[in-house]
Chains A and B, each alone.
Chain A
């Protein structure tokens, strides 16, 4: 049963979430009893060394993976009660994704890449155009709209990916190391855009291992060995800028 309640005090509720991987009889505990909640409009950075379980957590939060134990409630829906196509539907309607390696269709144009989520939303052609154009404009790539994505620079690619994450007007955006493959200037641009999106009301969950990037958030959850090490509110940086990334 899928209920998409827009006004809830918490957007994400995670309670005693665990994820085990079994491989040849050995069990790896990627997440152990993780609990927290995230309110709409928060900008949360999840940090931790590699192998800490932060990617696993992001995958579960973004409905790409299911937990082994525990309860995850997104917008009032217990994930356990949702079937695969409902998860896909929610990903499509309420979630935006930004990946470290951009994951664009390099042979397709900027327009076609940004349009992709709308295709899976069964949106008619006529309604798609202005949404796609607006999303591309908001990341400042209107002049590249018909360029093949593969021909763009890294920073531009990530901005296309952001436009793609935005186009469905999702409530939450998951960013997995969005600046990891970028030079500092492009990284700053990307973070500024994310900051702007957060200001406009999008909830943002950012996975990173860079302290500087994390400082754009207003809350920092540190993960270590599959457990929440710390969960603190931080002073949100308001002026990323170039010097910041040097």
Chain B
């Protein structure tokens, strides 16, 4: 039988049982729609996260106190709430003398209450130097950043995030207003542009930046740093800078055994690949759940095709009597199941795309940060391939059964 005719016959077969065909397809439709939805949301989430991290700057090297033990997925002790005091001003000064580094920005972190008139809220504060604004590439929408003098002379000034400014002052200008941070009166000298999430998941739009000295000594009363961000000199790669930092710090801390490092140095690449891996694993995990529904749908197809083969026993006998070979019959039934799953796949893609669009409209409005619309061609290709393959895999058994029917028995079947 010519393929074209087989195709026509298959379409005929499906059209004669429209409701059944549609119901049979439903499993595949739902499966494919969820695969599309999850893959595209996964890829949007991934690009969202990676874009934000990438926005920080690709030539940055992060130094956190404490060693990362075990796999690269384990977080450094400082992030686990263990206080490690090994990263100090001495280290920052030594790193500032390192040629491969353009800038070194030590910082401390904490939580504090910020009050302005009747408004008060708890936010993250960072104690930073003027270098921080350089390495992080932070732009101000108004006012100015810190000077070296601000840090050196414990000036009670602050640069605040854009959202925080709006919350505290509404439509009024923030610059030159005085706020209370813990028990200090602080004058706002600058407001950040909208920046979104920073490294370690800090919401930079709701953050208060204070001179390092003020935050470290007066608010926290400590003499170590939580994080040092270094920017590699453009003549050197981040990896090279990373190596230099490690050796400077080992020297400073008198460490000879690399296993005893009391610090962790990560380039942005490390962070990116880690985040990329995590989101990929999430996507694969979610997508494989969606594939389960595809398998269930496939079993539904097989079930219905088996019923259809029995129902059409006589037709099979007739076709064989009229000259159909086993191959012709196999092809006819296989095409039917493939057509079912292919159509199911196409409908699933359309429904999936609809929900992806819906998710985009909702998320891009609720999340201030850019939620990108993403319908990866790979997801569509995968969906079409997988759905058609489902038809082949689950249609093969019924089709073989049909093709092997004995023509006489089949013709006699009532």
Contacts and interface: CB of A to CB of B under 8 A. Distances in A.
Contacts of A40: none
A196 B408 CA distance: 28
Contacts of A93: 323
Contact of B315 (A85, A99, A105): A105
Contacts of A105: 315, 318
Contacts of B5: 119
Interface residues of A, number: 28
A95 B407 CA distance: 15
B314 interface: yes
A89 B322 CA distance: 9
A69 interface: no
Given A89-B323, A91-B322, A108 B411 contact: no
A108 B312 CA distance: 14
Contacts of A179: none
Contact of B324 (A59, A65, A88, A103): A88
A59 B408 CA distance: 7
A120 interface: yes
A122 B321 contact: no
Contact of A84 (B317, B319, B326): B326
A92 B408 contact: no
Interface in A89-135: 89, 91-93, 97, 99, 103, 105, 107-108, 112, 116-117, 119-122, 124-125
Contacts of A108: 12
B323 A107 contact: no
A164 interface: yes
A64 interface: yes
A79 B54 CA distance: 76
A160 to B, nearest CB: 13
Q: Is the interface of B mostly helix, strand, loop or mixed?
A: helix
A103 B412 CA distance: 10
B389 to A, nearest CB: 27
Interface string A26-44: 0000000000000000000
Contacts of A97: 321-322
Interface string B314-344: 1101111111111110000000000000000
A91 B4 CA distance: 22
B414 to A, nearest CB: 9
B321 A91 contact: yes
A117 B322 contact: yes
A103 B318 contact: yes
Contacts of A92: 322-323
Contacts of B321: 62, 64, 91, 97, 103
B411 A103 contact: yes
Contact of A120 (B16, B328, B411): B328
A192 to B, nearest CB: 24
B325 A85 contact: yes
Nearest to B320: A88
Interface in B395-414: 407-408, 411
Closest 5 CB pairs of A and B: A92-B323, A120-B323, A103-B318, A88-B325, A119-B5
Given A120-B319, A120-B322, A120-B328, 6 more contacts: A59-B408, A84-B325, A88-B324, A89-B323, A108-B12, A116-B322
Interface of A: 59, 62, 64-65, 84-85, 88-89, 91-93, 97, 99, 103, 105, 107-108, 112, 116-117, 119-122, 124-125, 164, 168
26 contacts: A59-B408, A64-B321, A65-B408, A88-B325, A91-B322, A92-B322, A92-B323, A97-B322, A99-B411, A103-B314, A103-B318, A103-B321, A105-B315, A108-B12, A116-B322, A117-B323, A119-B1, A119-B2, A119-B5, A119-B9, A120-B324, A120-B325, A120-B328, A121-B323, A124-B2, A168-B323
